[in-house]
Structure 1
């Protein structure tokens, strides 16, 4: 009997349900379903057995017409796992993803992602740090620690160790979904972040009478966009570049690197899975520091007679 081949969009949808639902976070799962919607738009009638290298490359090219190169790369990675499984199952004769070329639109002009030390100090001086927890305290703690937004929202009073001047990161808050505590991004994200004595003293007073098990920054539904708007108003008020709340994390890491803190230490503080991640994200900073090191080496050598 001749084998009936199903549409690739149907195969991919079933693959998501079988392998991804319940295995990945909701935010990641949504990316797979977004990829599915693009398949339905670009290759709605493509049968699984018809997926050749040429057709797959054309699919990527069509997607790349309206997306930047990195986004196209993500699209490819979200498809590749299902395609390799289809090859293993004998539904596709050969791996069509081999030696693909990733294209994409010219990237938009990137906004400034981080502040320099003077700009950050100016921002912090402008924060309205009242006697009760507010959004400005959230901005301050992210600027001082470099933690992720979801990690900061997941903080409770018991995560603060005043004696050892540390904050424990062991959970996050599901601000994109229905709320509630959830796991950290990865195992490396579970960590203790050292904080300065002034921040310790400030939060010790703020959190003294709060429920130690409830998130300190959550009061109803909290949106990333709302905090970004508050941060943008502060930046505009003091005439510094407007950055996002995630930009405070970039600012923290960049200032540490510029001050001579090792990449390994910065990676641990940020909760990166490896130093490679840190190096990739902060390549521009590292390159500037390398140029600075070369200048220092040349000055040293020129002084040797």
Structure 2
């Protein structure tokens, strides 16, 4: 039997203690903020739920309550973050049985999502609308992300020292903490540390653009100014509207870059390395629809080749 004091402890109190004990200092700040957001929702929808009252019924009610305001994938993430703490509570004897077993994940109807990427003609049209003046601006940022497929935080962290113009290489070895207090942070994972080959036109443009910028100073960031993802996305949306093409996000430019490479026949392994994916599996899952389309083209090619043998 559970100790009365232990069984009467509020679940959200235990969860807070669990986060501090197991997650503090062990995960990236961005991931940590997601755990704290889960904790806030726990207080909001189940403020009086105790460990002793945790069972399959009460846990399913908790998930259902959360799912009212969230899509299914977000509810799944919420479930996984709670499950880690609950399974530890079961191991410690604070909860008798695993209440997360056979949990049903629900969620509201997903919103209509923006297109994830542009085709080659649309990207070309967008680039012709960019204001590529002599001074550094967000249009230069948009161009560089489109040409390299870098993540938003990676591009923000670029300094002149990261450019090797003689070898047409760009080193990605850090990110910028735009969600926090600013400053440099490590990359998302070890695979994210990489060198990206640049085309000669981009090399010429940026070799002129970064002249006069201190070697270790971010090119696109004013250190004393807060950077918001929404600011750059708003500029991109304005450019898309002006170009009369689908509106995408900055991250959509990363998808666009990868998609164009795959359609051009670049191998999945090369695309994975260029994007800084931890494995080719990530690339395959993310761009499955494109890979399947290319496989269909391969079948047609195989059939035409075989028919020519008769």
Residue number in structure 2 paired with 1:285: 290
Moved more, 20-29 or 197-206: 20-29
CA distance in 2, matches of 1:280, 1:54: 34
Match of 2:234 among 229, 232, 237: 229
Moved more, 1-10 or 121-130: 1-10
1:158 aligns with 2:187: no
Q: CA deviation at 1:297?
A: 2.2
Moved more, 204-213 or 141-150: 204-213
Q: CA deviation at 1:76?
A: 1.0
Q: CA deviation at 1:50?
A: 2.4
Q: CA deviation at 1:157?
A: 0.4
What are the within-5 Å matches in structure 2 for residues 238-257 of structure 1? 238-257=243-262
CA distance in 1, matches of 2:268, 2:53: 47
Residue number in structure 2 paired with 1:170: 173
Residue number in structure 1 paired with 2:78: 75
3-state SS of paired residue (2:142): helix
The two structures have a TM-score, normalised by structure 1, of 0.95
Residues matched between the structures, number: 305
Residue number in structure 2 paired with 1:43: 46
Q: CA deviation at 1:186?
A: 1.0
Match of 1:85 among 79, 85, 88: 88
Residue number in structure 1 paired with 2:59: 56
CA distance in 1, matches of 2:124, 2:3: 71
The two structures have a TM-score, normalised by structure 2, of 0.94
CA distance in 1, matches of 2:96, 2:267: 48
Moved more, 53-62 or 284-293: 53-62
Q: CA deviation at 1:2?
A: 4.2
Q: CA deviation at 1:7?
A: 1.0
CA distance in 2, matches of 1:57, 1:294: 46
Residue number in structure 1 paired with 2:304: 299
Which structure 2 segments of 5+ residues have no match? none
3-state SS of paired residue (1:193): strand
